[in-house]
Amino acid sequence: MPTSAAARLRELLARQDDIIVCPGVYDGLTARIALQQGFDCLYMTGAGTSLSRLGLPDLGLTTLPEMLANASTIASLSPSTPLIADADTGYGGPLMVARTVRACMSAGVAGLHLEDQVLAKRCGHLLNKELVPRDVYLSRIRAAVLARQEMRDLTGGVSDIVIIARTDALQGMGFDEAMGRLEDAVAVGADVVFMEGVAGKEMGRVVCERFRSKGVPVLLNMVPGGVTAEMTLEEAREVGFGVVVYPGLMLSAVYEACERVSGELKRTGRVEKIKGMGPKVLFELCGLDECLEFDKKAGGKGFDGGV
């Protein structure tokens, strides 16, 4: 039986001497680009989902249907490649969190993170975030763990998902409260911890040493220009982080390129051709040859003359 994406993610997390590098993707095309580059794991950014699907800022406006549809699309492109998805607050109380976890497991998501902001949340790199009390946060993590176990029981252990506990408490409540929340989350079943906005390498080292001694990997959210202190990948590895996600990687590149070419069209009435680029190149990136081969095997005749 092929290894599930969640099982593969657990294998990667168990490699204490290495670090998982996850480019932030937000749709099928950016996921295909990252897969072409050979990344072992992908990260579905919540901000990118909000910006691309709604055209709106990351202010808690996306709901489970939008996030799930996006995660399902991305996960389906390479079912053996783990996808870690932003699941925000879980979108409600314990029952809703359980529904979110079950749906993500059914969609093939390998890991998700749940946070401790109020339902009307905002991007972790904006100011004045409001948090729920610690017991409410823990009820979210506990609900996720229970839902995962129920799905495991129903599928005979085939279904699984890695639960990542995220806290945004550092900026408003301080380091001790943030650490306490993460330690409690691990105690109720979280697999990985994620402190938003780590202020520097020394703070990161304290967090990593505390949790790695318990066999719990730590995730670093690397957002250039955000509240997290910038670290190179080598620095993050040396500090002890087990996972680094880059949510804005594709977003920033796409914004820069699209602004440039649309501005060129507006100013000059023409667009310079990108060497070697045409519709077929993009179609091939997204599985054109595989589609044609499948159609042929099924007895289809529509593409006998080529495309």
Q: Indicate if 108 and 197 belong to the same structural domain.
A: yes
Q: For residue 269, is it within any domain?
A: no
Active-site annotation holds for 88? yes
| Candidate list 125, 142, 166, 181, residue with the active-site label | 166
Q: Which amino acid is at 123?
A: C
Active-site annotation holds for 99? no
Q: Indicate if 93 and 229 belong to the same structural domain.
A: yes
Give the pLDDT score at 275: 67
Active-site annotation holds for 128? no
| Candidate list 123, 140, 142, 181, residue with the active-site label | 123
* Other C-beta atoms lying within 10 Å of the C-beta of residue 172: 13
| Candidate list 43, 91, 137, 246, residue with the active-site label | 43
Active-site annotation holds for 295? no
Quickly tell me which residue has 């790695």 as its tokens: 212
The range of the structural domain enclosing residue 13 comes to 5-255
Residues 6+ positions from 126 with CB-CB distance below 8 Å: 58
Active-site annotation holds for 234? no
Q: For residue 176, is it within any domain?
A: yes
| Candidate list 116, 160, 191, 196, residue with the active-site label | 196
Q: Indicate if 166 and 288 belong to the same structural domain.
A: no
Point out the residues of the chain with pLDDT beneath 50. Answer: 1
Q: For residue 262, is it within any domain?
A: no
Give the pLDDT score at 16: 76
Hey, what are 130's tokens?
A: 């409001």
Give the pLDDT score at 128: 83
Give the pLDDT score at 294: 94
Active-site annotation holds for 125? no
pLDDT digits (tens, 9 = 90+) for 222-262: 998 888 889 999 999 999 999 999 999 999 999 999 999 99
Q: Indicate if 251 and 146 belong to the same structural domain.
A: yes
Q: Indicate if 137 and 87 belong to the same structural domain.
A: yes
| pTM for the full predicted model | 0.94
| Candidate list 10, 32, 102, 113, residue with the active-site label | 113
Q: For residue 73, is it within any domain?
A: yes
HSE (side-chain half, CA atoms, 13 Å) at 77: 23
Active-site annotation holds for 258? no
Q: Indicate if 150 and 293 belong to the same structural domain.
A: no
Q: Indicate if 231 and 305 belong to the same structural domain.
A: no
Q: For residue 265, is it within any domain?
A: no
Single out the residue of 77, 304, 187, 185 nearest to residue 195, CA to CA.
185
Q: Give the C-alpha separation, 209 to 35, whole Å.
A: 32
Give the pLDDT score at 2: 53
Q: For residue 267, is it within any domain?
A: no
Q: Indicate if 166 and 305 belong to the same structural domain.
A: no
| Candidate list 88, 116, 160, 168, residue with the active-site label | 88
In the chain, the N- to C-terminal Cα span, in Å, equals 35
Buried b (16+ CB within 10 A) or exposed e, 181-209: bbbbbbebebbbbbbbbbeebebbeebbe
Q: Indicate if 169 and 278 belong to the same structural domain.
A: no
Q: For residue 144, is it within any domain?
A: yes
Give the pLDDT score at 1: 43
Q: For residue 261, is it within any domain?
A: no
| Candidate list 22, 26, 41, 58, residue with the active-site label | 58
The CATH number linked to 82 is 3.20.20.60
| Candidate list 26, 91, 115, 160, residue with the active-site label | 115
Give the pLDDT score at 3: 67
Q: Indicate if 186 and 289 belong to the same structural domain.
A: no
Q: Indicate if 79 and 226 belong to the same structural domain.
A: yes
Q: Indicate if 161 and 16 belong to the same structural domain.
A: yes
Active-site annotation holds for 115? yes
Count of the separate structural domains present in the chain: 2
